[in-house]
């Protein structure tokens, strides 16, 4: 039986880097953002139901994320209706991954793990963190969003202090080596626990 580890944190705190470290140590990784991209891609499972709701959001048989963002910004009822379609499809994809994976530890990279209640499906949760100044520097250095957009995303996420308080493991991502050291310690504890179960 695989051990299910939720991996969460706030934007720019090193979740993707940490997930790749877990992968380097033999874990299978399921990524929520990648699952949504697959659902939105050409012929993805979310395209047809979203076309019925918001035909303007579909371009070339795929969901146009920019168009979807405009719709959400203009219509306060849009987001819950989109989530009602997308969240069950994401959950279905996660279940399929659980059944197909053979690794002893499965890591679920889910930014909104606590916000969506997905932590109840996990055996434990690890939360990555970094101080707010470094987080802001990393996000804005990517050049993919403005400071205002960054603040809007932060406002939608649970404060990192709350996530850390609810997590079983905390991973500080100040350097990649330090993150790797913490990942190894977590996996040793999980794997030793599994061997004694």
Relative to beta strand 105-109, strand 3-8 is parallel
**Pair 57, 71: CB distance under 8 Å:** yes
CATH 3.40.50.300, the chain: domain bounds: 1-27+106-197
| φ/ψ of residue 118, rounded to 5 | -70, -10
Per-residue pLDDT reduced to its tens digit, 46-73: 999 999 999 999 999 999 999 998 998 8
109/149 Cα distance (integer angstroms): 22
Per-residue pLDDT reduced to its tens digit, 176-192: 999 999 999 999 999 99
- State the DSSP code for 5: E
Among residues 75, 73, 69, 50, which one has the least CA distance to residue 61? 50
| Side-chain-facing half-sphere of 193: CA atoms under 13 Å | 13
20/168 Cα distance (integer angstroms): 20
Residue listed under structure tokens 């997590």: 167
Question: What is the pLDDT of the chain when averaged over all its residues?
Answer: 94
- State the DSSP code for 57: G
**Pair 93, 38: CB distance under 8 Å:** yes
Residue listed under structure tokens 């399921």: 30
Q: Please determine, for residue 152, whether its predicted confidence score (pLDDT) is greater than 90.
A: no
Architecture of domain 1-27+106-197: 3-Layer(aba) Sandwich (3.40)
- Whole-model pTM: value is 0.90
Residue listed under structure tokens 């991954």: 97
SS3 call for 45 = coil
CA dihedral angle for residue 141, residue 114, residue 123, residue 121, rounded to 10 degrees: -120
Tokens of 15: 């979740």
- Predicted confidence at residue 149, as pLDDT, reads 87
- State the DSSP code for 101: -
What mean pLDDT is predicted for residues 94-105?
Answer: 95
Q: List the beta bridge partners of residue 58.
A: 63
- Predicted confidence at residue 11, as pLDDT, reads 92
């Amino acid at each position: 039986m695989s051990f299910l580890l939720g991996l969460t944190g706030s934007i720019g705190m090193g979740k993707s880097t940490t997930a790749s470290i877990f992968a380097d140590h033999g874990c299978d990784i399921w990524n929520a953002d990648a699952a949504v991209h697959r659902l939105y891609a050409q012929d993805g499972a979310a395209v047809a139901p979203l076309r019925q709701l918001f035909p303007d959001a579909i371009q070339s048989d795929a969901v146009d994320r920019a168009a979807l963002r405009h719709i959400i910004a203009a219509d306060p009822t849009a987001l819950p209706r989109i989530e009602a379609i997308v969240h069950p499809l994401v959950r279905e994809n996660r279940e399929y991954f659980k059944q197909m994976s053979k690794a002893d530890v499965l890591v679920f990279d889910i930014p909104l793990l606590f916000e969506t209640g997905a932590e109840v499906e996990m055996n434990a949760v690890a939360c990555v963190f970094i101080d707010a100044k470094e987080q802001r520097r990393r996000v804005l250095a990517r050049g993919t969003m403005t400071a205002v957009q960054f603040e809007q995303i932060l406002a939608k996420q649970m404060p990192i202090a709350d996530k850390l308080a609810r997590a079983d493991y905390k991973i500080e991502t100040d350097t990649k080596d330090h993150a790797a050291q913490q990942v190894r310690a977590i996996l040793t504890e999980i794997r030793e626990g599994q061997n004694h179960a």
